[in-house]
Structure 1
Amino acid sequence: MVVLTEDEIRELVDLDLELVDAIEDGFRVLALGDVATPPPMMFTLDADNEVDVKAVWVPSWGDLSLKVATGFFGNPAKGLPSGNSILLLLDATTGQTRAVLVEGGYLTALRAGAAGAIAARSLAPRRVASAGIVGTGELARVHARALLLAVAPESMTVFGRHRERADAMIEELRGYTDIPLVRAESIQEVVQASDVVVTCTSAREILVHAQWVHPGMHISAVGADAPGKQELDPEILRRADRVVCDLRSQALAQGECQYVTDASRSDDASWLTELGDVVAGKAPGRLRDEELTVCDLTGVGMQDAAIARYVLAKVLGTSDSATTQQGGSRVVT
């Protein structure tokens, strides 16, 4: 059994193309079937605090993963991160624990950013003159880095409700790129100026209005991951040439797609494509430069299993004994 703290995990893995490919392989396996993904258990403690439990069983990998994550959105004012979580990887045939990853939300953010990179690789226009990020939390920062990896934008615009946090995010991103980085004065400015936009907030109201979007752009919405959360005007999804999600059942229940309820979309949700089907070649991504595309990312258990498997391989790839010390962590195999 491998036990890793957040600090040890941070030393071991970071957002890079190898990690993105590992998460993409998880989506591909999900699309090929033989994976059990029960509905997430979610409950709200109060207006600012929530708990999310996700699980997945992957027989072909021999893995069963379980993650408990919390979102306490008043934490930044206390000097604490808003997200926290622990990820377990179990043997799918015996139920025995293979890894305990006390990741504190770090792996959750990385696998979310990786999904954003996968979506952008499949759905963004060929040339991205400008990318836009709405939000300034850890998730927004990871998604900004993911866009740098996936589509190599020529510039990037950031909007946050608090100028100082947006400026701090821009300064952090300067460590990863030398492209122009600009703080926007409004969400409208971000959307109208960008070829790719990622929204990363905990909003429960429309932030991005339909009249701001334009042909040829791609939007990845990652904030709506529970009933009642919302960032996009539903008209954007109705007008989109292609709407992709990580998992259809989740997107319809708790993503942006929960608000598309009129007869313009068929009852069987055939208008909604899963990202795994795109990477597996079962469905198309962007077909034309002038298309408007949207990806609704709610976060799925398969991403957790894939990143836990990736971390475990990193550890055991350097382990040559039954019980060793890896950077202070306890490893028992």
Structure 2
Amino acid sequence: MEHGVPMQSPGESVLWNGIRTGARPKNSSSDWWYEDVSTLSFSLYKRLIAVMECRGVKQEIIAGSLAFYAKRYLPGLNRCQVSGESSTRLTPMALGSPPSVEDQKIFLEEIDRLLPAEKGQVPTKFLFGLLRTAMILQVSPPCLSNLEKRIGLQLAQATPEDLLMPNFSYSMETLYDVDCVQRILEYFLAMDQVTGGASPCSIEDGQLMGSPSLTPVTMVAKLIDGYLAEVAPDVKLKLPKFQALAAAVPEYARPLDDGLYRAIDIYLKSHPWLADSEREQLCRLMDCQKLSLEACTHAVQNERLPLES
């Protein structure tokens, strides 16, 4: 795919030789070459990546280059950047005409195939940006599924804001794509069972190694509860969908149910028309024995809860 990405330029051979021979500025970081090689045509860039993989360059460095290259030629990724970034960090895409939607779809699917498959090699926020862009472009189902699986592998590194992906489906049933989050969670839980599910978080997961209470599954449980609290005010969010996501988190993953209680309370407040039987059904997701004293005190005085709670 060459449409929308640069064709070979006079400086390509110089850049290629510079990378191949290991030429680099003094006192530079490992990403000094990202911007230079982002001007290469995609066919040559792929050859460069293949050579670097053969020579044992670290996967995280290659992933960083791929992310930089992708942001240069996928306008949607720039819109996903964190607000407040310097405008000089925006890609030159804005200076010229962007690639066609079809070219962007093909390009994104190629980037997905090139990204390292190992957990933690690709920044989690970049994967979420890539997934959002893939949804907008309506890439192939296998590509979407693969991106969701990639995120599922490192879901413990995400934030509730990362999960707030708009619903791009024609039905617009809900404001956010809750089904996508459900699938990502299921991928995580399937892998967590394979790996034993009890290993403490590493430094890469953003926590101190060896912490007895913070494991990936407990972090993900807190993440999902936070996400549920964010989407609960959506009046279009049906009870079965909210309930299914809340129930998908294993009971052992929640040392406390305070986060779940907060999400349920927000949902009840935003959906006052629920029948008593529906409210009871929702509250059965909680274990009152796992509420803190503060949450328990609040629950006792909470008129939104069914009397039997």
Please say whether Structure 1 and Structure 2 have the same fold, judged by a TM-score greater than 0.5. no
- Quick check: which has more Rg, 1 or 2? 2
Report TM bin, short chain: under 0.3
Length-normalised TM-score, structure 1: 0.23
**TM-score (normalised: structure 2):** 0.25
Structure scoring higher RCO (CA < 8 A, sep ≥ 6) equals: 1
Give the structure with the higher percent strand.
1
Bigger proportion of residues as helix: 2
